Amino acid sequence: MSSAGKWIIGIVAAFAGMGFIILAMAVFMLATAVTAPESDTYEESWGGTSSDRVALIEIETPIFDAEDVVRQLRKYRQWNTVKAIVLRLDSPGGAVVPSHEIYEEVLRTEKHGKPVVVSMGSVAASGAYYIACGASRIVSNPGTITGSIGVVSEFASFGELLDKIGIETTIIKSGEYKDIGNPAREMRDREREHLQRTIDNIYDQFVEVVVRGRQLSDDSVRTLADGRIFTGEQAYGLGLVDTLGTLQTAVTIAGTLGKIEGEPRITREREEESLMDIVLGAQTRQTIEDMGTRLRNQSPLEYRLIY
């Protein structure tokens, strides 16, 4: 073999080895995301002329777990120097239960005497809007995509494909509905009707949260709650948000509600940079962790904007 051929084989082998290493690291990270505890954090503060603070909590991914946000809400409402909290929402929503758990913790925080102001980012829809309805004030950018009030459930069907390739499945079950959503067969009419009744019940819960939080009539909310999206400007006109503005607008409102004299100092929790952040980048690491979180907390019913 010529020297050029050996070089080519060597280069190909090197790239293949690097690809294998990256794949192995990704698999390792996914497994770690499913089982590992949260990484170390530190407190970051900036700005302001006052010693009193507004805490900033960010939800910037689909909502499939409530633990971290609930923990931060509980932490900051115990801090005497934190007079109010801004909850920055940039999420299409997510699973039903985590969205409700964060919403309930927002209500508890306010009952504790600490105002919570929501600041909407690029997207604050469905489950994210559900959470926002528990806040003292909702501030939206005019171009924010919000709304999408409703419930969605997705079920795949691979029955025809399995028939074509000659694969059969056998289900032994204790009741008619025990394998509802089985992807190996088409969903039956009775199963679809049962799921629709379940979704309608969850939908009614969502509507009630909006009615209570926005002080709107049930009929007016149901007119809007057909899953459609609104811009922040449209949502303001419909009474779904309180104010149009930016994150800084939300901080200023939070400072006022928290009776802070002068410009409030902002504090937030940050994660320590990990080895995986250095190797793969923080965004890639976060994406893999989100995949692990979703695997841990799978739900057939979601408050989520699908796009």
Contact 106, 85 (CB under 8 A): no
CA 193 to chain centre: 28
The Cα 235–Cα 215 span in angstroms is: 14
Helix (H, G, I), strand (E, B) or coil at 230: strand
Q: Per the structure block, which two tokens stand in for 9?
A: 């084989």
- Residue among 126, 136, 140, 148 flagged as catalytic: 126
Tokens at 130, concatenated: 């559900």
Which residues, in sequence order, are bridge partners of residue 138? 118
Q: Which residues of 100-133 are buried (b: 16+ CB within 10 A; e: fewer)?
A: bbbbebbbbbbeeebbbbbbbbebbbbbbbbbbb
Has 126 been annotated as catalytic?
Answer: yes
CB contact set of 74 (below 8 Å; sequence gap of 6+): 105, 109
Handedness of CA 258, 260, 264, 265 (dihedral sign): negative
d(CA 192, CA 21): 45
CB 133 within 8 A of CB 105: no
Strands 41-46 and 265-271: antiparallel
Give the Cα-Cα-Cα angle 125, 129, 133 (nearest 5 degrees): 170
Burial of 162 from C-beta contacts in 10 A (0-12 / 13-18 / 19+): middle
140 is catalytic: no
For the chain, the C-alpha Rg in angstroms (whole number) is 24
The active-site residue out of 51, 122, 173, 178 is 178
Active site residues: 126, 178
